[in-house]
Amino acid sequence: MSFARRRFLSGSAALAGTLLGRTRAHAQAAWTVLGTPVDSVAWLRDVRRVIIDTDPGTDDLLAIMMMLGARTIVTEAVTVTPGNIGYDQEVRNALWLAQTLTDGRVPVYRGIDHPLMNRPYPVAGFIHGRYGFGDMVVPEVALRPGPEHAATAIVRIVSAHPGEVVLLALGGLSNIALALLLDPSIARKARGIVMVGGRYEGIGTPVSFNAMVDPEAADIVLRSGLPIVMTGDLGRTVMLTQADFDHIRGFNTDKSRIFLESNAGRLAFETTKRHKPGATYADPFAASLVLAPAVAQAFEAVHMTVELSGTETRGAYVFGGTHIYTGDALPPNVVVCTRASADMFRDTVFKALQS
């Protein structure tokens, strides 16, 4: 082998080693330890104003019923974001709920109708049914969307009430990310954001449907500085079983009847296709964190990012407390609820559907 060739190969190896070292130094693909236990989140107490950002499907319906029925919390707006089903049907569903539950007093705003990068995203008709509310046909109502774009409305409302507004993020994060791009200062002005996240169970990369819808939006939110509380994987804690559905049937209220008609298919899907003892309700649990924060019994503060480019893992959350390659401690940017009261969750749901 010639001297020139040996020198070229040696230089190439050194360059590759340098690049690999840089990649490892900046990689955020796994962690060595979890985060820090947290007993409670102060800003969840005594919430008075909420914006519901939603992709109205079966679980969103229940969460919205819970919030719009609250006596001490004002829902300033319902903003519609890409997610569970076709966007126009989501808007129709949101308008119908606002008209039915509040006589149109709560405004509904259309937002961006696709992810920020306009990439394809999953829909979940398999669990939400043809119309988003199971097979319940949602009629058109007189109420029309407000004149503002959802992102503009979020900026306006948060800025008008600094330190008061909680963003209840039930779907993809496109509208909230766009609002942050329009006015980054709302990250400091908002009271916080409660978002439905992934299956936080330990070190790993759990998939999150809402992050899969718009990973770039999730990345913007996670890096924004917003105080973030995320639902974790709470298993049976946030389930409603057939016995719970039967109990709800006994309420015989308009809300209970709407819930049962729209969610019968969700219960059937989860029990027969996923072999679970009941239907999972992460969105209503997120609402319960705002309505009755004592439902949460433990949190964990973690550093969290979202995978943007993985072929099979795009939209997966990556979390932990220490970088696997460098050993550096990473500052937490998310507080995840890791344990909650199943009894209090069900009681909060029952109370909402009884009225």
DSSP line for 296-346: EEEEEEEEEEE-SS-TTTTTBEEEESBBTTT--B----EEEEEEE-HHHHH
Among residues 304, 311, 307, 300, the alpha carbon closest in space to that of 336 is found at: 300
Strand, coil or helix: 37: strand
Q: Contact 182/151 with Cβ under 8 angstroms?
A: yes
Residue that the structure tokens 């009884």 belong to? 354
Catalytic residue among 53, 55, 214, 283: 55
The CA dihedral of 89, 94, 97, 103, to the nearest 10 degrees, is: -120
Neighbouring CB atoms inside 10 A of 338's CB total 21
CA distance 298 to 200: 13
For the chain, give percent helix, strand, coil, nearest 5: 45, 20, 40
* CA distances in angstroms from 109 to 70, 83, 190, listed in the order given: 20, 15, 19
Q: Token pair of 333, please?
A: 């940017």
For 293, which DSSP code? G
347 is catalytic: no
In angstroms, the first-to-last Cα distance of the chain is 85
Cα–Cα dist 135/57, whole Å: 11
Q: Provide the token pair at 81.
A: 């974001």
Q: Which are the catalytic amino acids?
A: 55
